[in-house]
Amino acid sequence: MKRKCSLEEKLAAIALVEQGMSARSVSDKLHLGHHVLFEWLAAYKERGIQGLIPKGKRPRRLSYEEKCKIIQKLGRPKTGMVRTKRIPKEEYEKENERLRKENERLRLENLLLKKVKALVEEREARNRAIGRKPSKN
């Protein structure tokens, strides 16, 4: 489990490093992970003592029993598919028609782009055949 260190302990560890001890030896001496000490050093260099003060409590994690109590109070969530409200037939047909038109427009746009690509490739092939370099466009 993670051990909480006071501000004084953090400052003492940083002081030992500043006196010349290696960060790893200080972390071994204080039974800390060396990465924790490196984080303290970085925070101290960046923000001074304010960087070592905790930023407030994080919300604690709920235990399994606490979660079960909350679910019982709120009611058990329903599993399976969620039903959506049915839309009227007229709206459904309008949306279907709109999607058909959009599909047709996209199909035509795709055909146009394929034709343009074929024309560009044909022009480049002609230019290569007569010794011209391809355009930069």
Task: Answer whether residue 68 is part of any domain.
Answer: no
Number of domains in the chain: 2
Task: Answer whether residue 70 is part of any domain.
Answer: no
Q: Which residue has the higher pLDDT, 19 or 85?
A: 19
Task: Answer whether residue 97 is part of any domain.
Answer: yes
> Nearest to residue 51, comparing CAs of 69, 64, 38?
38
Task: Answer whether residue 46 is part of any domain.
Answer: yes
Task: Answer whether residue 59 is part of any domain.
Answer: no
- Are 47 and 40 within 8 A, CB to CB? no
Task: Answer whether residue 84 is part of any domain.
Answer: no
pLDDT per residue as tens digits for the range 20-74: 988 889 988 888 888 888 999 998 898 888 888 877 655 667 888 888 888 887 7
Task: Answer whether residue 136 is part of any domain.
Answer: no
At residue 29's C-alpha, the angle toward residues 25 and 33, to 5°, is 75
Enter the tokens of residue 107: 């199909």
Task: Answer whether residue 119 is part of any domain.
Answer: yes
Domain that holds residue 117: 89-130
For 37, counting Cβ atoms within 10 Å of its Cβ (0-12 exposed, 13-18 middle, 19+ buried), the class is: buried
Please say if the pLDDT value at position 1 is more than 50: no
d(CA 116, CA 96): 30
At residue 35's C-alpha, the angle toward residues 59 and 16, to 5°, is 110
pLDDT per residue as tens digits for the range 70-94: 888 777 656 665 667 788 889 989 9
Q: Which residue has the higher pLDDT, 6 or 20?
A: 20
Please say if the pLDDT value at position 132 is more than 90: no
